[in-house]
């Protein structure tokens, strides 16, 4: 338990001291749920200011269901911290270690990651396996595209896919797709979006949350 607490505190310390710039914060107001999302990745810097090979990924996400039912849902939250070692010879492919905290518990994972980032296109993906006797296998994919429309406005398109396959037959598989489409003006992005979720094994329960988003990079 002490190791878990130390790891968690270290991740937050890295978050605040090494990636304090260009932190995107999104508010998504949907017809079913409102979510707050902070997600970014940043290379550590060496003492001389040069970029190191260590890439830090951080995501903090929480959601509140605003449908009032007899069995109303508690707020959902998730924290994901990941560190990867990116050697130039591997051209974006890297081993990655992942630490996650969700409503249902804590998970340690490891696997392979790929990252490609430039001014217009971002592709960030990983395939990781939970370090447990009956592990979950996760495939995560994030794609962004921001071409210039005018001198001051860009298109903002983001697609995300989160897939969890459980080796425990009593635990359902889960699949999530998120899409954002809007405009990009300086450090502000806004537009419309949809979140889709499926849960189950032979039969699936599906939900959809459509709405608008406002995203700002601090």
What's the distance, CA 152 to chain centroid?
27
pLDDT tens-place values along the chain, 218 residues long: 434 443 444 444 444 444 444 689 999 999 999 999 999 888 887 777 777 889 999 999 999 887 765 455 667 889 999 999 999 899 999 999 999 998 878 999 999 999 998 889 999 999 999 998 889 999 999 999 999 999 899 999 999 999 999 999 889 999 999 999 999 998 899 999 999 999 999 899 999 999 999 999 87
Q: How does DSSP assign 161-203, residue by residue?
A: EEEEEESSTTS-EEEEEEEEEEEEETTEEEEEEEEEEEEESSS
Which residues, listed in sequence order, are joined to residue 74 by a DSSP beta bridge? none
**Residue 125: which CATH number?**
2.40.160.40
Range of the domain at 69: 2-217
- What pTM does this model have? 0.84
- As a whole number of angstroms, the distance between CA 121 and CA 16 comes to 26
Outline where DSSP puts E strands in the chain.
Answer: 24-30, 33-45, 51-65, 76-85, 93-102, 105-117, 121-130, 136-145, 153-166, 173-185, 188-200, 204-217
Number of C-beta neighbours around residue 141 at 10 A = 16
- As a whole number of angstroms, the distance between CA 119 and CA 124 comes to 14
- As a whole number of angstroms, the distance between CA 46 and CA 151 comes to 35
The per-residue pLDDT for 52 is 85
Count of structural domains, the chain: 1
Supply 94's token pair: 């890297």
């Amino acid at each position: 338990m002490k190791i878990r607490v130390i790891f968690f505190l270290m991740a937050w310390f890295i978050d605040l001291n090494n990636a304090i710039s260009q932190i995107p914060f999104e508010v998504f107001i949907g017809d079913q749920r409102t979510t707050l999302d902070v997600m970014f990745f940043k290379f550590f810097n060496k003492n001389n200011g040069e970029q190191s090979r260590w890439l830090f990924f951080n995501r903090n996400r929480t959601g509140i269901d605003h449908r009032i039912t007899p069995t109303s849902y508690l707020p959902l939250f998730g924290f994901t911290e990941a560190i990867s070692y990116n050697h130039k010879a591997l051209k974006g492919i890297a081993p990655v270690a992942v630490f996650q905290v969700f409503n249902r518990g804590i998970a340690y994972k490891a696997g392979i990651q790929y990252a490609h980032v430039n001014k217009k296109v971002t592709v960030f993906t990983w395939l990781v396996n939970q370090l447990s006797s009956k592990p979950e296998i996760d495939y995560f994919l994030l794609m962004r595209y921001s071409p210039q429309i005018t001198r001051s406005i860009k298109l903002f398109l983001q697609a995300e896919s989160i897939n969890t396959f459980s080796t425990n037959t009593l635990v359902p598989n889960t699949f999530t797709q998120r899409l954002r489409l809007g405009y990009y003006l300086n450090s502000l992005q806004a537009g419309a979006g949809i979140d889709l979720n499926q849960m189950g094994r032979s039969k699936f329960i599906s939900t959809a949350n459509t709405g608008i988003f406002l995203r700002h990079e601090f």
